Amino acid sequence: MINEEVTHLFKALSHPTRVDILDLLTKGPLSTGELSEHFDVSRYAVMKHLKVLDDVHLIIVRRQGRIRLNYLNIIPLQEVYNRWVSKYESTLSISLTKLKAKLENGGSNHMKTEISSFQIEQQIEINAPLKDVSHSLIYDINDWWEFRFEEENSHITFDPKVGGFFMENWGNGQGAIWGTVLYYKEHVEIRLQGLLGMQGAVNSHYSYRLESHGEATTVKLSHSAVGLLDPKWEESHSNGWTLLLNKLKVYVEENE
Protein backbone atom coordinates (compact mmCIF):
# COMPACT_ATOMS: atom_id res chain seq x y z
CA MET A 1 0.00 0.00 0.00
CA ILE A 2 1.28 3.47 -0.83
CA ASN A 3 1.38 6.02 1.99
CA GLU A 4 -1.60 8.01 0.69
CA GLU A 5 -3.79 4.88 0.75
CA VAL A 6 -2.71 4.11 4.32
CA THR A 7 -3.52 7.67 5.39
CA HIS A 8 -7.03 7.45 3.91
CA LEU A 9 -7.54 4.04 5.54
CA PHE A 10 -6.70 5.28 9.03
CA LYS A 11 -8.84 8.38 8.49
CA ALA A 12 -11.78 6.12 7.62
CA LEU A 13 -11.19 4.15 10.82
CA SER A 14 -10.98 7.28 12.96
CA HIS A 15 -14.75 7.63 13.40
CA PRO A 16 -16.39 5.34 16.00
CA THR A 17 -19.55 4.87 13.93
CA ARG A 18 -17.54 3.51 11.02
CA VAL A 19 -15.70 1.14 13.35
CA ASP A 20 -19.06 -0.01 14.74
CA ILE A 21 -20.30 -0.64 11.19
CA LEU A 22 -17.31 -2.85 10.45
CA ASP A 23 -17.88 -4.74 13.71
CA LEU A 24 -21.49 -5.40 12.71
CA LEU A 25 -20.40 -6.65 9.28
CA THR A 26 -18.08 -9.22 10.81
CA LYS A 27 -21.24 -11.24 11.55
CA GLY A 28 -22.26 -11.19 7.88
CA PRO A 29 -23.55 -8.83 5.18
CA LEU A 30 -26.22 -6.30 6.11
CA SER A 31 -28.39 -3.99 4.06
CA THR A 32 -28.11 -0.23 4.55
CA GLY A 33 -31.52 -0.25 6.25
CA GLU A 34 -30.47 -2.98 8.67
CA LEU A 35 -27.33 -1.06 9.58
CA SER A 36 -29.31 2.13 10.14
CA GLU A 37 -31.39 0.39 12.81
CA HIS A 38 -28.28 0.09 15.00
CA PHE A 39 -27.54 3.83 15.16
CA ASP A 40 -29.29 6.93 16.52
CA VAL A 41 -28.50 8.88 13.36
CA SER A 42 -30.29 9.32 10.07
CA ARG A 43 -30.13 6.79 7.25
CA TYR A 44 -28.42 9.50 5.21
CA ALA A 45 -25.65 9.79 7.83
CA VAL A 46 -25.12 6.03 7.78
CA MET A 47 -24.92 6.14 3.98
CA LYS A 48 -22.21 8.82 4.21
CA HIS A 49 -20.19 6.61 6.55
CA LEU A 50 -20.64 3.67 4.17
CA LYS A 51 -19.39 5.84 1.30
CA VAL A 52 -16.19 6.58 3.24
CA LEU A 53 -15.66 2.88 3.96
CA ASP A 54 -16.40 1.99 0.34
CA ASP A 55 -13.87 4.57 -0.93
CA VAL A 56 -11.04 2.83 0.97
CA HIS A 57 -12.37 -0.65 0.03
CA LEU A 58 -13.16 -1.69 3.61
CA ILE A 59 -16.60 -2.73 2.43
CA ILE A 60 -17.90 -4.27 -0.79
CA VAL A 61 -21.36 -3.37 -2.04
CA ARG A 62 -23.49 -5.91 -3.88
CA ARG A 63 -27.04 -5.16 -5.05
CA GLN A 64 -29.85 -7.69 -4.97
CA GLY A 65 -32.74 -6.00 -6.73
CA ARG A 66 -33.43 -2.81 -4.81
CA ILE A 67 -31.50 -3.96 -1.75
CA ARG A 68 -27.92 -2.86 -1.21
CA LEU A 69 -25.92 -5.46 0.73
CA ASN A 70 -22.72 -4.36 2.45
CA TYR A 71 -19.91 -6.90 2.97
CA LEU A 72 -16.81 -6.50 5.09
CA ASN A 73 -13.59 -6.55 3.03
CA ILE A 74 -10.65 -7.35 5.33
CA ILE A 75 -7.94 -7.21 2.67
CA PRO A 76 -6.93 -3.53 3.24
CA LEU A 77 -6.47 -4.33 6.94
CA GLN A 78 -4.46 -7.43 6.02
CA GLU A 79 -2.19 -5.26 3.87
CA VAL A 80 -1.52 -2.96 6.82
CA TYR A 81 -0.85 -6.02 8.96
CA ASN A 82 1.58 -7.35 6.36
CA ARG A 83 3.41 -4.03 6.22
CA TRP A 84 4.07 -3.54 9.91
CA VAL A 85 3.28 -6.70 11.83
CA SER A 86 3.74 -9.91 9.87
CA LYS A 87 7.45 -9.37 9.22
CA TYR A 88 8.04 -9.74 12.96
CA GLU A 89 6.20 -13.05 13.13
CA SER A 90 7.53 -16.38 11.95
CA THR A 91 5.27 -16.47 8.83
CA LEU A 92 1.74 -15.92 7.66
CA SER A 93 1.27 -19.62 8.15
CA ILE A 94 -1.36 -19.45 10.91
CA SER A 95 -4.20 -19.09 8.40
CA LEU A 96 -2.47 -21.46 6.00
CA THR A 97 -2.04 -24.10 8.68
CA LYS A 98 -5.68 -23.86 9.67
CA LEU A 99 -6.87 -24.39 6.11
CA LYS A 100 -4.33 -27.16 5.56
CA ALA A 101 -5.72 -28.96 8.60
CA LYS A 102 -9.23 -28.61 7.17
CA LEU A 103 -8.11 -30.10 3.89
CA GLU A 104 -6.36 -33.03 5.51
CA ASN A 105 -9.06 -33.75 8.07
CA GLY A 106 -12.04 -33.00 5.86
CA GLY A 107 -13.22 -36.59 5.93
CA SER A 108 -13.06 -36.98 9.70
CA ASN A 109 -16.07 -38.64 11.28
CA HIS A 110 -15.80 -36.11 14.09
CA MET A 111 -16.61 -33.15 11.84
CA LYS A 112 -19.87 -31.50 12.80
CA THR A 113 -21.83 -30.47 9.71
CA GLU A 114 -25.17 -28.83 9.15
CA ILE A 115 -27.16 -27.56 6.18
CA SER A 116 -26.13 -23.94 5.81
CA SER A 117 -24.52 -21.52 3.41
CA PHE A 118 -21.94 -18.78 3.22
CA GLN A 119 -20.94 -16.07 0.78
CA ILE A 120 -17.51 -14.44 0.80
CA GLU A 121 -16.87 -11.15 -1.00
CA GLN A 122 -13.35 -9.71 -1.17
CA GLN A 123 -11.47 -7.40 -3.48
CA ILE A 124 -7.95 -6.09 -3.84
CA GLU A 125 -6.29 -3.44 -5.98
CA ILE A 126 -3.10 -4.45 -7.77
CA ASN A 127 -0.76 -1.82 -9.15
CA ALA A 128 -0.39 -3.39 -12.58
CA PRO A 129 -2.26 -3.29 -15.92
CA LEU A 130 -5.27 -5.55 -16.36
CA LYS A 131 -3.64 -7.86 -18.93
CA ASP A 132 -0.65 -8.49 -16.64
CA VAL A 133 -2.91 -9.33 -13.69
CA SER A 134 -5.07 -11.58 -15.86
CA HIS A 135 -1.99 -13.43 -17.15
CA SER A 136 -0.59 -14.01 -13.65
CA LEU A 137 -3.99 -15.06 -12.30
CA ILE A 138 -4.15 -17.86 -14.88
CA TYR A 139 -0.75 -18.79 -16.25
CA ASP A 140 1.42 -18.07 -13.18
CA ILE A 141 -0.97 -19.60 -10.67
CA ASN A 142 1.55 -22.25 -9.60
CA ASP A 143 3.82 -19.45 -8.34
CA TRP A 144 1.32 -17.76 -6.01
CA TRP A 145 -1.34 -20.36 -5.13
CA GLU A 146 -0.22 -21.44 -1.65
CA PHE A 147 -2.41 -24.42 -0.92
CA ARG A 148 -1.63 -28.00 -1.91
CA PHE A 149 -3.07 -31.41 -1.17
CA GLU A 150 0.43 -32.83 -1.64
CA GLU A 151 3.62 -31.07 -0.56
CA GLU A 152 5.95 -32.80 -3.04
CA ASN A 153 5.79 -33.18 -6.84
CA SER A 154 2.82 -30.82 -6.94
CA HIS A 155 2.17 -28.45 -9.84
CA ILE A 156 -0.91 -26.20 -10.16
CA THR A 157 -2.35 -25.61 -13.62
CA PHE A 158 -5.27 -23.58 -14.96
CA ASP A 159 -6.85 -24.29 -18.36
CA PRO A 160 -8.68 -21.04 -19.31
CA LYS A 161 -11.65 -22.31 -21.27
CA VAL A 162 -15.19 -23.45 -20.48
CA GLY A 163 -14.89 -26.97 -19.10
CA GLY A 164 -11.20 -26.47 -18.37
CA PHE A 165 -9.72 -27.64 -15.07
CA PHE A 166 -8.00 -25.71 -12.31
CA MET A 167 -6.08 -28.62 -10.89
CA GLU A 168 -3.13 -29.95 -8.93
CA ASN A 169 -0.97 -32.44 -10.83
CA TRP A 170 1.22 -35.00 -9.08
CA GLY A 171 2.40 -36.84 -12.17
CA ASN A 172 1.52 -40.26 -13.59
CA GLY A 173 -2.12 -39.25 -14.03
CA GLN A 174 -2.54 -38.44 -10.35
CA GLY A 175 -3.87 -35.20 -8.93
CA ALA A 176 -6.88 -33.28 -7.66
CA ILE A 177 -9.32 -30.89 -9.32
CA TRP A 178 -9.69 -27.61 -7.44
CA GLY A 179 -12.26 -26.23 -9.86
CA THR A 180 -13.97 -26.54 -13.23
CA VAL A 181 -14.42 -23.45 -15.41
CA LEU A 182 -18.11 -22.66 -15.99
CA TYR A 183 -17.68 -19.20 -17.56
CA TYR A 184 -14.64 -17.52 -19.06
CA LYS A 185 -14.39 -14.06 -20.62
CA GLU A 186 -10.79 -13.10 -21.21
CA HIS A 187 -9.50 -10.27 -19.00
CA VAL A 188 -13.00 -9.80 -17.53
CA GLU A 189 -14.35 -12.71 -15.48
CA ILE A 190 -13.78 -16.36 -14.58
CA ARG A 191 -16.40 -18.47 -12.80
CA LEU A 192 -15.61 -21.90 -11.41
CA GLN A 193 -17.26 -24.70 -9.50
CA GLY A 194 -15.13 -26.55 -6.97
CA LEU A 195 -15.08 -27.76 -3.37
CA LEU A 196 -11.76 -26.10 -2.42
CA GLY A 197 -11.04 -28.57 0.36
CA MET A 198 -14.62 -29.01 1.53
CA GLN A 199 -15.98 -32.55 1.63
CA GLY A 200 -19.38 -34.16 1.14
CA ALA A 201 -22.70 -32.72 -0.03
CA VAL A 202 -21.55 -29.19 -0.86
CA ASN A 203 -22.26 -26.95 -3.85
CA SER A 204 -19.44 -24.40 -4.13
CA HIS A 205 -18.91 -21.67 -6.74
CA TYR A 206 -16.30 -18.93 -6.90
CA SER A 207 -15.39 -16.23 -9.40
CA TYR A 208 -12.78 -13.59 -10.19
CA ARG A 209 -13.84 -10.34 -11.84
CA LEU A 210 -11.24 -7.90 -13.15
CA GLU A 211 -11.70 -4.14 -13.53
CA SER A 212 -9.12 -1.82 -15.07
CA HIS A 213 -8.38 1.55 -13.44
CA GLY A 214 -5.65 3.06 -15.58
CA GLU A 215 -2.42 1.34 -14.60
CA ALA A 216 -4.10 -0.49 -11.71
CA THR A 217 -6.49 -3.44 -11.63
CA THR A 218 -9.13 -4.42 -9.10
CA VAL A 219 -9.68 -8.13 -8.56
CA LYS A 220 -13.08 -8.97 -7.09
CA LEU A 221 -13.51 -12.41 -5.52
CA SER A 222 -16.89 -14.00 -4.79
CA HIS A 223 -17.25 -17.44 -3.19
CA SER A 224 -20.57 -19.00 -2.25
CA ALA A 225 -21.21 -22.45 -0.79
CA VAL A 226 -24.35 -24.27 0.34
CA GLY A 227 -24.91 -27.74 1.74
CA LEU A 228 -23.58 -29.75 4.66
CA LEU A 229 -20.98 -27.24 5.85
CA ASP A 230 -18.70 -27.37 8.83
CA PRO A 231 -19.36 -24.17 10.87
CA LYS A 232 -15.66 -23.23 10.67
CA TRP A 233 -15.34 -23.48 6.91
CA GLU A 234 -16.49 -19.91 6.23
CA GLU A 235 -13.80 -18.40 8.46
CA SER A 236 -11.05 -20.68 7.18
CA HIS A 237 -11.91 -20.00 3.53
CA SER A 238 -12.23 -16.26 4.13
CA ASN A 239 -8.76 -16.26 5.69
CA GLY A 240 -7.48 -18.40 2.86
CA TRP A 241 -8.79 -16.07 0.15
CA THR A 242 -7.29 -13.06 1.93
CA LEU A 243 -3.92 -14.76 1.96
CA LEU A 244 -4.18 -15.81 -1.70
CA LEU A 245 -5.24 -12.41 -3.03
CA ASN A 246 -2.38 -10.78 -1.15
CA LYS A 247 0.03 -13.37 -2.56
CA LEU A 248 -1.27 -12.59 -6.08
CA LYS A 249 -0.82 -8.85 -5.49
CA VAL A 250 2.74 -9.24 -4.22
CA TYR A 251 3.65 -11.62 -7.04
CA VAL A 252 2.30 -9.37 -9.80
CA GLU A 253 3.76 -6.13 -8.42
CA GLU A 254 7.17 -7.66 -7.79
CA ASN A 255 7.31 -8.99 -11.36
CA GLU A 256 6.24 -5.76 -13.03
Give residue 55's pLDDT.
92
Residue 22 resides in a domain: yes
Domain boundary among 48, 72, 96: 72
Give residue 103's pLDDT.
56
pLDDT band at 98; cut points 50, 70, 90:
low
Same domain, 32 and 120: no
First to last CA, the chain: 16
Calculate what percentage of the chain has a pLDDT beyond 70. 86
Task: Give the integer Cα–Cα distance in Å for 166 and 180.
Answer: 6
Give residue 101's pLDDT.
59
Same domain, 130 and 195: yes
Whether the per-residue pLDDT at 33 is higher than 80: the answer is yes
Residues 6+ apart with CB under 8 A from 163: 180, 181
Q: pLDDT tens digit string along 77-93?
A: 877 777 765 554 444 44
CATH number, domain containing residue 25: 1.10.10.10
Whether the per-residue pLDDT at 109 is higher than 60: the answer is no
Count how many domains the chain has.
2
pTM for the whole thing?
0.70
What's the domain range around 202?
Answer: 108-254
Task: Give the integer Cα–Cα distance in Å for 241 and 31.
Answer: 23
Mean pLDDT across 111-123: 80
Lowest mean pLDDT among 92-106, 153-167, 235-249: 92-106
- Beginning with the edge strand found earlier in the chain, give each strand of the sheet holding 216-229 in spatial order: 114-126, 216-229, 202-213, 189-193, 174-185, 165-171, 155-158
Whether the per-residue pLDDT at 50 is higher than 90: the answer is yes
